[in-house]
Chains A and B, each alone.
Chain A
């Protein structure tokens, strides 16, 4: 018997055929991986399954019956729950309120029974590894915990099908294990799970079946166990993946020949920010890629932002080429040659409503102008240069960045940074949420830039990316430096060991 099934579904948008005759079957108790590059049609398929979109043609069957959901609420009521990448709960309401939103337990007077609600919320969330005061505002919780609340909420609604769209992208390894524990329990209860992720290890650990989409078409569907990783990847990409075989998993070429004796181009000393950063110090030499390792919340992003002048600090100095930056501000940092690529591309990186051209030129407008009037010719030249160099795929420089794929958005952002002729690049998760092809390109670019003598600081939750991309790794925990990996010790094993050694003694190893 099948739980949820789509047969021959097609869906078009202006100019794009997002889904072309795609069929997909989910059995009860199955954890079904849905994979594909960005733009393969995963999101569209999910939206068809959850009633957000109506297919142009094809049929949706739920528990054997043809169904048609008019709205997402219908799908939810029928037992199909979705957990999106961006947690969509109410940040200003308490954890318990979020959990019970719309289904609050009532007392005899018909009023919300807060006591019971909070008690039950505590019990439920304990199963998900969330042990926080349920009266706290949800928004105050770390993203991982918020996601667990979202999951708990989805499962509570008597879900038969749970769709998870990159559920682990903001989780720490330990949280991932908790999530997998929950998934296994759901699996045992016969709930069908659609699992969307870019992370191979996770897919092979938790999923039974896999469906691969490419350019809106179904490429492969079947058991996951018999499918080799390299086959899976090449089916996703639709090309022979010889580069992926080379040197592990990333497009990084190896160590850079940074001059060990050269004076550091970036010297950070005693960076301190109340509660978040404690005496963080490290150097970056020209041509060197320094990785910042650690778990979520270790202070990697905060360190990067603090150096870029976008995070308040209480103490510490930042020197660029030996010169003290003084009180940091974003304006001063950019002027000194520091370029920051923030983790959250949509919220802090691109300006979605502006064109590719305007986005690239944004940080260098004064240089592109005379007496405050911009020179279109000079902008065109620089835009052309970086669109070519980074192979940005857009219909024209005038296309809105919001309409590009994630990978191309990231490239536009990098182009903006490079246009400022930076001495130091601070990259926070440069390859997150972008397709495999763009990922490889971004990784090669980082290599290339380091080769040109830039100092690069790299933050990545992908251990392989960090280890293969960086020459040295500075390991952070709870906002403090707890280890350095250099030379032969820059390996995933040593990184894990460094992080694990740093873990508080009371915690069990995952």
Chain B
């Protein structure tokens, strides 16, 4: 079979997922068909380097800048405030290091205990290099004490970096209020908004945020592309040094096709922002209510009033998360867990631990995260499967009579 036919076959099977119910959309998401459609010509025939001068490349450059406009439009900022990067982690590292390099006299950073490793680990590294890092506690709902934040700010504080929404629990922090405090105290503010972008409205004209990170593959664009918003009047020092790309702020030939995909994904996210996220919330609430009705000794973790509409973090007493994961996997349902046994370090979720969730609930926690592709049918199947699995595992458990 000629290669072009083989490619055609793959595209034809685009919707084919082998019966998999994908409930792990905070880990990654499916590439939207509209996104793939937009990308394909640039993978196939329009392969010019956007830095070249001839018209074959100009068209690519224009398309890439169109993407920049679309991302800016989603966040309501100016397109020259958007730098394309390779991922959320790169955006986070760039923001942190730039804030420190442009404020060499200040050596204190404020963050939270529940950040993603893409913030947590760079900050641990900086701590070893002599920076002072304050990690704010959360309460048992996963919320911050704003007063504690305010009290932690000193003249030595270079940066406050606080996530917009938590990847494990979906808990949304009060970023409007927090960024206002940072602005009033004259401290740079960065937010890792990888989970929030596309799920809640973000208006950077109103929000006094200086840096914001986002990731393509969380909003139905491909993996390997992200963006960093840097407010126009903020000094920026580049992380990746080399060529003049991205206005000299991020070297390396641009990941053109993925950037084009991210642009389309941002456009779709804006279009779907309110209506679709409301529909996802209805499905999420239906699943939670079904599980609460059918399974005893269960709790939903997090601040239920301030939570992403697609995320549910649920704990089951007497059973362990990894065994739930593999039982669900056998039933073609993909979820993740915060149990100690499932992690590569044998440490339970630092987020649930920071929330002081009791160990019997902590080790039996799973995260379900939906997307706009989740169907009512899938919710029905999961609502029937999960109680059976919990019942079966509880039968095996010596703690459950």
- Say whether A associates with B: no
* Chain B residues within 8 Å of A, Cβ to Cβ: none
